[in-house]
Structure 1
Amino acid sequence: MTGANSEAELWSKIPAVEGNGVPDPNVSSAPRLFTWEEIELCTGQKHPPRDRWLVIDRKVYDIGQFYKKHPGGSRVISHYAGQDATDPFKAFHKDKTLVRKHMKSLLIGELAPDQPSFEHNKNKLLVKEFRELQTTAKKLGLLKPNSLFFIVLLLHILLLRAAGWFVLWYFGTSVMSFLIATVMLTLSMSQAGFLQHDLGHLSVFNNPKLNHVGCEFVAGFLKGLSAKWWSFHHDQHHAKPNCFQKDPDLDIHPVMFSLGETLSRELGKQKKKIMPYNYQHKYFPIMMPIVVVPVFQIYSVYFTFQRRLWRDFVWIMAHFALYLAAFVPLFGLVDAFGFYFLINTLDGAQFTWISQMSHIPMTIDYDKNMDWFSTQLQGTCNVNQSFFNDYITGHLNFQIEHHLFPTMPRHNLWKVSPLVKSLCAKHGIEYQSKPLFTAFADVLKSLKKSGEIWLNAYQNG
């Protein structure tokens, strides 16, 4: 799911993993049967580190010698060790037939007939009906992208960027032209981020390779970020949203913030006070935009060196070369970098609020090994639809639907929304959708609440 190669090319580079000492279930002998109790032990933690088993469509796979070679990253697949990975497998992989061919060498058996299909099968009917909903969405063509929509989107991003430069070049750097150019360039940067997000989810073109190439171009050339770094990071978030130690978006806990009731209480009882968390709702709006983009860019460049991703590195250098060529003649070197920092800080502010409004107010906890549908609904919420909300959020106001169907093109998310709402209503699951500014306010309310929980636990143990 990362890089410029197609899925076929990525998987073809992976050498076959031998049978790990287990008889091959594909031969005439009967397959080995497993219980969930056995599978739960093999997470890479309770057993030797190389023992990692997971279940897909009732078949048991040993990924202990494979997970580090996984094209989507080692962590995203390891997060499901000891669990059922059927729904995330279907959600992340477009060409399932191709991937299944490479999974044969990992197959070690299947669930025993008396074992439920899902480990904690309290929601058996919900799991069944969501999978039917997946099939319905595919039959309705909701997974097929309208490439023209995204081409127009790219053209408008390039036009905004060119217009921002032209305003400064033609009208000079007066206050008014500076403000107009700043708005245009910030919008261009943020919209490029949303387009890169679409490409990274393989939802722009039917051909996966075009998505990978496009993601490298938009992430590297238009944003100055490594496409592969972003994919490794973001796919983990989708696999286990709001699950501490599995969702990398929570890595800021407890460095900068105390998040969620459970984790805040833990921090307080452990007497940890890296920051004054009871004031985090006040410093969040200032600190996050300033920290997020520079940290992301610096770390993504480091990532390209660490993984020797030279193509990503070339795109990033081309991004900065073009920027300097366009703006140093207007501002001079120092002021040009200052202007770049301003644009990225404003972009970071927009990104921070839009990305966090759907997650921070929701449940944040350790992985409870819930089914895919419940996991996504527990960790995400929506913002009400309008033309403005759709545009300014890159359609991430449909965060619930996007998390349930990560490869679904954004222009179809509103179409599947009524079906998701209906399934939620049938099973008594809350489907949250809010006005935009209510969602923003809920971020601060949630931070204030978790900060108070931390302070109470810190003072009273």
Structure 2
Amino acid sequence: MGRGGQKRDVIASDRSRAGSDVLTWAEISRHVTNNDRWIVIGGEVYDVTEWSKKHPGGPRLIGHYAGQDATDAFGAFHNNGDHVRKFLKPLHVGSVEGYTDNDLDKDFRELKSTAVKMGWFQPSYTFYTLVVGHVVLFQVLTYMVLHWFDVTWWSVLLSLACFTIAQSQAGWTQHDFGHLSVFKHSWLDHGVHHFLIGIIMGASSSWWNHMHYQHHAKPNVINKDPDVRLEQLFVVGDEMPKTVAKKKKKSMPFNLQHKYFFALGPPLLYPVYFQIMLFRHMITRRLWNELTYSMVFYISYIYLFVPKLGFFGAVAMYFAMRCLESHWFTWVSQSNHIPMTVRSDQSLPWLVMQLNATCDIEKSPFNDWFTGHLNFQIEHHLFPTMPRHNLYKVAPLVQSLCKKHGIPYTVKPLLQSFVDIVRSLKVSGEMWKEAYEEIHS
């Protein structure tokens, strides 16, 4: 008998042993491979093996919860949970034996219910009109500055500043629509998302979804969060340095990573890595519609700026902007995560996992604008579909809940959070060196 037949027999025997469709966690935890995936939502077990291939968030996202309780992850990602549950009915396998919610889960879900009742999941369309409007304004000013004035060093720098602001703020804004937190209707949010990330930024919405939703599902979890798949260049946390030291005899000098981070991290993430990966994603997956959106950006840029700056000047302008944008994005996004806990999957409760991996940055008008309200990273990770302008409102309730259950809740000044990135890289690099020398001496 082939392996496929053996696997089907194993699954059949599992269900037979379940008897009255009551399954133990020991049974459920065996179904964790690409060809055999079970997840738990609200104490009910579902076989998502085939469905995961059709899942809008991609097979990896739902696969990260194979053999685990995905109740709160399911609630966090779906605005219309009742509607989605209809698709789960044919996938139902059984119920978890003795399934009960613990006090932490109950309190968290009660907190979310309170936030819903308070209207904090409802967007302000005035806010988003202004946010999208100021992105378009700076994008237009990027060209108009060169049109109104002669091409001089100061007009080019002013245009570059407008370009960087437009692209960086478009990045924070597309993030909201990508999470379906504005219109609450998939096709409307996806439409604006395509406009912002494709036509305004020249990138791919599905590539962003593929990467970012995995990050949200398992933040700072090794081998699951793509944002910490860094071992080719960096080691982070206290587990990865030791693992990399054991596997590799020759590698990067990670003990110096806090120094070469300034050359390889923020300056090159957008201009090199993202440029390669997003086009690779669109072409290999034949996403011709998204490639068309992105080409609108590049063709319009060439049409508008080559006559003003010349071909090489326009190319230099573009990559200078991407380098500045990359700095902006990297320092902000990593300030909330890299200094926090990075480890392998431990199937932690949703609240605990998110608090281990995220921290907040102090609120101020500048910090709110500069980070796209991702200074409230804790709240955003707990409630990814909550409009960003309401995140500060739910923060006191999250702090109270964390205090009740003894869960650390970290808030930092903006500059301190940047310093902590470098400091954590230094600590992790020293851990790698110590482990490497001990193993390979």
Given that 1:31 and 1:108 are in contact with CA atoms closer than 8 Å, whether structure 2 keeps it comes out as no
Given that 2:120 and 2:386 are in contact with CA atoms closer than 8 Å, whether structure 1 keeps it comes out as yes
Shift of 1:73: 0.5
For 2:49 and 2:199, how far apart are their aligned partners in 1?
36
Residue type of the alignment partner of 1:360: I
2:265 corresponds to: 288
Within 5 Å, give how 1:283-432 maps onto structure 2: 283-293=260-270, 294-432=272-410
Shift of 1:450: 0.2
2:225 counterpart of 1:247: yes
Secondary structure at the counterpart of residue 362 of structure 1:
coil
1:33 corresponds to: 22
Shift of 1:85: 0.3
For 1:243 and 1:61, how far apart are their aligned partners in 2?
23
2:197 counterpart of 1:219: yes
2:35 counterpart of 1:58: no
Q: Deviations over 1:196-233 (max 9, x none)?
A: 10110001213221101111110111111110110011
For 1:262 and 1:203, how far apart are their aligned partners in 2?
34
Shift of 1:290: 3.1
Given that 1:59 and 1:107 are in contact with CA atoms closer than 8 Å, whether structure 2 keeps it comes out as yes
Given that 1:31 and 1:110 are in contact with CA atoms closer than 8 Å, whether structure 2 keeps it comes out as no
For 1:175 and 1:246, how far apart are their aligned partners in 2?
45
5+ residue gaps, structure 1, are: 1-19, 119-123
Secondary structure at the counterpart of residue 32 of structure 2:
coil
Secondary structure at the counterpart of residue 41 of structure 1:
coil
For 1:51 and 1:269, how far apart are their aligned partners in 2?
31
Mean alpha-carbon deviation: is it higher for 68-77 or for 299-308?
299-308
Within 5 Å, give how 1:139-150 maps onto structure 2: 139-150=117-128
Shift of 1:316: 0.4
For 1:451 and 1:258, how far apart are their aligned partners in 2?
7
Within 5 Å, give how 1:158-237 maps onto structure 2: 158-237=136-215
Residue type of the alignment partner of 2:261: F
Given that 2:341 and 2:356 are in contact with CA atoms closer than 8 Å, whether structure 1 keeps it comes out as yes
Given that 2:79 and 2:184 are in contact with CA atoms closer than 8 Å, whether structure 1 keeps it comes out as no
Shift of 1:285: 2.1
Secondary structure at the counterpart of residue 267 of structure 2:
helix
Equivalent of 1:262 in 239, 243, 246: 239
Equivalent of 1:117 in 66, 86, 100: 100
Secondary structure at the counterpart of residue 143 of structure 1:
coil
CA change 1:435–1:21 in 2 (3 A) is: closer
TM-score, scaled relative to structure 1: 0.90
For 2:380 and 2:256, how far apart are their aligned partners in 1?
32
For 2:191 and 2:172, how far apart are their aligned partners in 1?
16
Shift of 1:103: 0.8
2:116 corresponds to: 138
For 2:140 and 2:26, how far apart are their aligned partners in 1?
59
For 1:40 and 1:55, how far apart are their aligned partners in 2?
10
Shift of 1:22: 6.5
Mean alpha-carbon deviation: is it higher for 101-110 or for 162-171?
162-171
For 2:204 and 2:139, how far apart are their aligned partners in 1?
20
Secondary structure at the counterpart of residue 259 of structure 1:
coil
2:70 corresponds to: 85
1:277 corresponds to: 254
1:106 corresponds to: 91
Q: Deviations over 1:130-171 (max 9, x none)?
A: 011111111111111112211111111111111121112222
1:11 corresponds to: none
For 1:273 and 1:388, how far apart are their aligned partners in 2?
44
Secondary structure at the counterpart of residue 212 of structure 1:
helix
For 2:245 and 2:280, how far apart are their aligned partners in 1?
34
For 2:105 and 2:61, how far apart are their aligned partners in 1?
21
Given that 2:198 and 2:205 are in contact with CA atoms closer than 8 Å, whether structure 1 keeps it comes out as yes
5+ residue gaps, structure 2, are: 1-9
Secondary structure at the counterpart of residue 196 of structure 2:
helix
Shift of 1:179: 1.7
1:7 corresponds to: none
Secondary structure at the counterpart of residue 243 of structure 1:
coil
1:8 corresponds to: none
Given that 1:244 and 1:365 are in contact with CA atoms closer than 8 Å, whether structure 2 keeps it comes out as yes
For 1:455 and 1:313, how far apart are their aligned partners in 2?
43
Residue type of the alignment partner of 1:409: P
Equivalent of 2:424 in 446, 450, 455: 446
Mean alpha-carbon deviation: is it higher for 309-318 or for 203-212?
203-212
How many residues of Structure 1 are paired with residues of Structure 2 in the alignment?
427
Q: Could you say what the CA RMSD is over the residues aligned between the two structures, in angstroms?
A: 1.8
Residue type of the alignment partner of 2:24: T
Residue type of the alignment partner of 1:257: F
Shift of 1:415: 0.2
Secondary structure at the counterpart of residue 236 of structure 2:
coil
